[in-house]
Amino acid sequence: MFKSSRFIILVSSLFFSAFYNDLFWKKVSSVYPFGSENIWYFVSLFIVLSSVIYLVLSLVNFKYILKPVLIALFIVSAGTSYYMNSYGVVIDDQMINNIFETQVAEVNDLLSWKLLFDLIVFGVVPSLLVYFVKIEYKSFGKHLLYKLLSIFVALLVIIANIYVFSRFYTSFFREHKPLRYYTNPTYYIYSFGKFIHNKYRNRNIIVQKTGLDAKLIEGKKPKLLILVVGESARADHFSLNGYKKDTNPYLKKEDVVNFKQMYSCGTETATSVPCMFSVLDREDFSIRAGLEHENLLDVAKRAGVRIKWIDNNSDSKGVATRIKDVVNIRTKKIEHFCDSGECRDVAMLVGLQQYIDSNVTNTIIVLHQMGNHGPAYYKRYPKKFEKFKPVCKSNQLQKCTQEEIKNAYDNAISYTDYFLSKTIDLLKKNETKYDTALLYLSDHGESLGEKGVYLHAMPYFIAPVAQRHIASVAWFGPNFDHLNQQCIRKDEGKHYSQDDYFSTVLGLMGIKTKVYSKSKDMFAACRTK
């Protein structure tokens, strides 16, 4: 009995429920306080979770398959448990997509001795036990019979618990659905299946043309528009929005328009960046839908605008796929600005003047920042910008005080402030040849430990506002696009979102097309011509 595959699965299921679901139990106890009144609910929930895991493992209960699957699940679950406990994240299909798109430099920011310890204790040790145990299998017929019987018993246990504690489970499933997102390994197994399904569906996509009628209305001078795509900059940490620390000492000296109520269409770069450049609204957008349609840059290119994408992040997430002039400065290792695999955002401005001079024509330059990419915020800025102290100099944010985390984060915000001011300086130098403007939007916000949640990428409908409310500013050269800036400032507090980005940029560049929506152009009402 003790060496039967069913017993190994039972013990493994109980082990997963007890030792890999810390965050799940914490979330449950925050909704249903642990005590004499709710103790039997917790016992029942433990039994149901273990039974569900048992059912999942029963599906792979075959000789030569069970052991490798258990070993893989122990190791992966140890890692997911660490990250879920450390950062309060959910391992859904979008998070798995982020994992597969993460670069080596970003991986280094997430490694720690605690992770290694957890992988050894909760991953390697149980895996070795499974590897060395001799599992006994009966004949195929008997094995199949016992397997079906054990599955039936597990289902019966689940149904009986839900029936006996129906009042609890009615509340659990209807009012607190997000709690199940924290179960380990069941939810990430489901999410991985969803991720694979989406990847399979996204193959051989036929891209639909967008804005075939796009036409550029020429002005007296060509336009030079720099679009800065920020990273993890939440609005409430910009002093322009009333934050108590002076995180915008440079921008406050510039004549910028600050959008106080700007919201993202995603909580992670892989969704929010292609979404903001898409003709689709957040409600209609998916990664597949984004791939199926040409985006803002394709329309601008068709209208005759010269386009350059400069990256200091992972990549454009498919936005610049059909743009020829794409540069990732990390691969350039620009002297004085890049070291130890890290490049400062200001490096994206190196050599940009020569490019601007090379062909005086209508131009869009996209600068994709490293910005406030976490958890190693302290790496995102030079030492001289460390004005808020003490700072968290660890990627294990839960080991730092909230003050230390916020100080490191705010220093990175201040460096973005400096970077934007240098970009504005560059535009000012070109005002004789171009009509110049800058539009900055962060891709998404960031959690800094509020309610035990760190970083970003929470499912949108349960994500805290800190991950959705983003920083955004604009700067315009003299008489750019005949905009009345006093008029624009009257609407600084108006609710905007990245859904407005597509038509706003088309409007700024003077591109006429049927896919342009005047109602979504943030500046349409403030043009004097």
Give domain status of residue 311, yes or no: yes
Give domain status of residue 208, yes or no: no
**How many structural domains are present in the chain?**
2
- Mean pLDDT, the chain, integer: 93
279-315 pLDDT, tens digit per residue, is 999 999 999 999 999 999 999 999 999 999 999 998 9
Residues 345 and 467 in one domain: yes
Residues 142 and 238 in one domain: no
Residues 253 and 386 in one domain: yes
Task: Provide φ and ψ at 228, rounded to 5°.
Answer: -100, 120
Residues 220 and 163 in one domain: no
Give domain status of residue 209, yes or no: no
Q: Which of the listed residues 201, 223, 238 is the one where a domain comes to its end?
A: 201
What is the length of the chain?
529
Query: Does 1 have pLDDT greater than 70?
Result: no
Instruction: Give percent of the chain above pLDDT 70.
Output: 99
pTM for this entry: 0.90
364-385 pLDDT, tens digit per residue, is 999 999 999 999 999 999 999 9
Nearest partner of 522 among 510, 495, 497, 504, judged by Cα: 504
Residues 79 and 145 in one domain: yes
Q: Which domain holds residue 237?
A: 215-526
Nearest partner of 13 among 79, 88, 95, 69, judged by Cα: 69
Residues 162 and 109 in one domain: yes
CA distance 71 to 60: 13
197-216 pLDDT, tens digit per residue, is 888 777 778 899 999 999 99
Task: pLDDT band for 40, please (50, 70, 90 cuts).
Answer: very high
CA distance 364 to 352: 12
Helix (H, G, I), strand (E, B) or coil at 64: coil
CA distance 149 to 110: 43
Give domain status of residue 319, yes or no: yes
**Which string of DSSP letters, residue by residue, matches 207-218?**
PBP--TT-EE--
Task: Provide φ and ψ at 438, rounded to 5°.
Answer: -135, 140
Q: Which amino acid is at 155?
A: L
Query: Does 54 have pLDDT greater than 70?
Result: yes
Nearest partner of 413 among 366, 380, 458, judged by Cα: 380
Residues 100 and 58 in one domain: yes
HSE-up (13 A, CA, CB side) for residue 304: 16
Residues 280 and 302 in one domain: yes
Nearest partner of 489 among 500, 476, 506, judged by Cα: 476
Check residues 241 and 138 and name the one with the higher pLDDT: 241
Residues 402 and 337 in one domain: yes
Nearest partner of 177 among 462, 465, 456, judged by Cα: 462
Is 424 in contact with 438 (CB distance < 8 Å)? yes
Omega of the bond leading into 382 within 30 degrees of 0 (cis): no
Give domain status of residue 180, yes or no: yes
Residues 428 and 285 in one domain: yes
User: What does the pLDDT average to over 105-114?
Assistant: 84
Query: Does 141 have pLDDT greater than 80?
Result: no
3-state secondary structure 44-55: HHHHHHHHHHHH
CA distances from 21 to 67, 180, 524 (A): 22, 11, 51
10-40 b/e (C-beta count within 10 Å ≥ 16 → b): bebbbbbbeebbebbbebbeeebeeeeebee
Q: Please give the structure tokens belonging to residue 22.
A: 């810390």
Residues 189 and 271 in one domain: no
Is 162 in contact with 32 (CB distance < 8 Å)? no
In 369-460, where does DSSP find H-type helix? 402-428
CATH assignment at residue 336:
3.40.720.10
Nearest partner of 294 among 322, 272, 270, judged by Cα: 322
Q: Which of the listed residues 154, 174, 201 is the one where a domain comes to its end?
A: 201
Residues 254 and 131 in one domain: no
CA distance 471 to 260: 7
Give domain status of residue 206, yes or no: no
CA distance 455 to 468: 12
CA distance 386 to 398: 21
Task: pLDDT band for 2, please (50, 70, 90 cuts).
Answer: low
Give domain status of residue 423, yes or no: yes
150-189 pLDDT, tens digit per residue, is 999 999 999 999 999 998 998 898 888 899 999 999 999 9
Query: Does 23 have pLDDT greater than 80?
Result: yes
Is 371 in contact with 442 (CB distance < 8 Å)? yes
Give domain status of residue 210, yes or no: no
Q: Please give the structure tokens belonging to residue 477.
A: 């050269």
Nearest partner of 305 among 509, 82, 60, judged by Cα: 509
CA distance 458 to 447: 10
